[in-house]
């Protein structure tokens, strides 16, 4: 049986070259990092980041949120996971330390176990659904506002789940003419929680069932030798999403390498040679190859959101 997470889920590079420019706000009952496009620029919609295990406070995640907000453009919300918190930046710093001993490693292992316990699928996903439903029905968006989601590693699982065509992934909100009761479940028109999703190096997927159930537009970025989703799984993912595109007669099968991708399908997958698990968020910007792969996955996400939010 494969481990629920791989080594690269808890390693990577901390960004010290960026200063987040968004703000911390309470959105739909949760602390949230909010980034906006440049002044005077109208956002195409809203994108919610569901982070990796290191959470919404990680500087890397906030830098990515700022970039998406500016480049898509969109209003970006990097949501917090409810207490107990996810692993934090200090944990990543300690994991990167070369001076770890058996004694100092024990608390880290306990923190990781606590992370799994309190953020397991059965507990975490209903909370994410509630957040997205509140966003869809909130005064900050009209029912027709386009909403996207970007998930990384642990968050990638939930980004994929949000694309499923199931009743819990939909919400009734008031129609444009003011009919219905308004609020979550109180309206007369049904909308999906998200209009599209992007994920990089997702983990913890029930394979292949979670992919076979994908309905809303999904874009996947993954390393060629990802420790969690290796070549065999990635080939199967490409086959599944490509089959969905073929059924819709929208595009030839997705896939490719070196950043190549089919761009007209409802779903896509891009395989990046040499990229490690975590490369889209925690890659080393001082390493030319890692920097290039991170920039390519960023471009992939921006292009995807421009297409489906626009």
Q: What is the CATH number of the domain that holds 86?
A: 3.40.50.1820
Name which of 264, 290, 265, 291 is nearest 276 in CA terms.
290
Q: Where are the beta strands (DSSP E) in 91-157?
A: 147-152
Residue 2 belongs to a domain: no
pLDDT of residue 41: 96
Residue 263 belongs to a domain: yes
pLDDT of residue 279: 86
Count of C-beta atoms within a 10 Å radius of residue 143: 17
Sequence-distant (6+) residues with CB within 8 A of 290 are: 13, 275, 276, 279, 283, 284
pLDDT of residue 174: 73
Residue pLDDT, tens place only, 185-199: 556 788 999 999 999
Residue 1 belongs to a domain: no
How far apart CA 113 and CA 116 sit, in angstroms, is 5
How far apart CA 140 and CA 27 sit, in angstroms, is 10
Q: Which residues of 247-282 are buried (b: 16+ CB within 10 A; e: fewer)?
A: eeeebebbbeeebebbeebbbbbbbbeebbbbbbbb
Residue 21 belongs to a domain: yes
Name which of 300, 285, 288 is nearest 200 in CA terms.
300
How far apart CA 134 and CA 28 sit, in angstroms, is 6
Number of domains in the chain: 1
pLDDT of residue 9: 43
**Cis? peptide before 228, omega within 30° of 0:** no
- Rounded to two decimals, the pTM is 0.83
Residue 251 belongs to a domain: yes
Under a CB-based contact definition with an 8 Å cutoff, are residues 52 and 152 in contact? yes
Instruction: Name residues of the chain where pLDDT drops below 50.
Output: 1-3, 6-12, 82-87, 93-94, 96, 98, 179-182, 251-252, 256-263
> What token pair was written down for 111?
């923190």
Sequence-distant (6+) residues with CB within 8 A of 152 are: 49, 50, 51, 52, 61, 199, 200, 201, 202, 278, 280, 281
Sequence-distant (6+) residues with CB within 8 A of 279 are: 200, 201, 223, 272, 290, 293, 294, 297
Q: Is 44 exposed, middle or buried (0-12, 13-18, 19+ CB in 10 A)?
A: buried
Sequence-distant (6+) residues with CB within 8 A of 76 are: 22, 34, 35, 36, 46, 47, 48, 49, 65, 66, 68, 69
pLDDT of residue 259: 47
pLDDT of residue 88: 52
Residue 139 belongs to a domain: yes
Residue 198 belongs to a domain: yes
How far apart CA 222 and CA 225 sit, in angstroms, is 8
Query: Which domain does 27 fall in, by range?
Result: 7-309
Residue 94 belongs to a domain: yes
Residue count (the chain): 310
């Amino acid at each position: 049986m494969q481990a629920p997470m791989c080594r690269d889920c808890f390693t990577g590079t901390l960004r010290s070259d960026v200063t987040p420019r968004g703000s911390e706000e309470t959105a739909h009952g949760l602390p949230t990092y909010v980034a906006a496009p440049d002044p005077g620029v109208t956002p195409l919609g809203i994108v919610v980041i569901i982070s990796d295990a290191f959470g919404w406070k990680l500087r890397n995640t906030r830098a990515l949120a700022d970039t998406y907000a500016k480049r898509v453009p969109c209003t970006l919300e990097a949501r917090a996971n409810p207490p107990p918190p996810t692993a934090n930046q200090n944990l990543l710093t300690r994991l990167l330390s070369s001076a770890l001993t058996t004694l100092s490693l024990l608390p880290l292992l306990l923190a990781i176990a606590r992370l799994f316990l309190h953020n397991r699928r059965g507990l975490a996903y209903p909370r994410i659904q509630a957040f997205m439903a509140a966003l869809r029905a909130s005064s900050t968006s009209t029912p027709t506002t386009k909403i996207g989601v970007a998930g990384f590693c642990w968050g990638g699982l939930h980004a994929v789940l949000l694309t499923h065509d199931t009743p819990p992934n939909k919400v009734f909100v008031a129609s444009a003419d003011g009919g219905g009761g308004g609020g979550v479940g109180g309206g007369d028109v049904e909308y999906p929680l998200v209009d599209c999703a992007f994920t990089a190096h997702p983990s913890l997927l029930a394979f292949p069932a979670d992919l076979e159930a994908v309905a809303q537009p999904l874009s996947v970025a993954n390393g060629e030798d990802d420790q969690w989703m290796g070549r065999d799984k990635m080939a199967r993912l490409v086959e599944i999403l490509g089959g969905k595109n073929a059924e819709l007669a929208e595009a030839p099968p997705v896939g490719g390498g070196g950043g190549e991708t089919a761009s007209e399908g409802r779903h896509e997958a891009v395989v990046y040679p040499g990229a490690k698990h975590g490369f889209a968020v925690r890659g080393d910007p001082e390493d030319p190859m890692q920097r290039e792969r991170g920039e390519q996955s960023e471009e992939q996400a921006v292009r995807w959101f421009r297409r489906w939010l626009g």
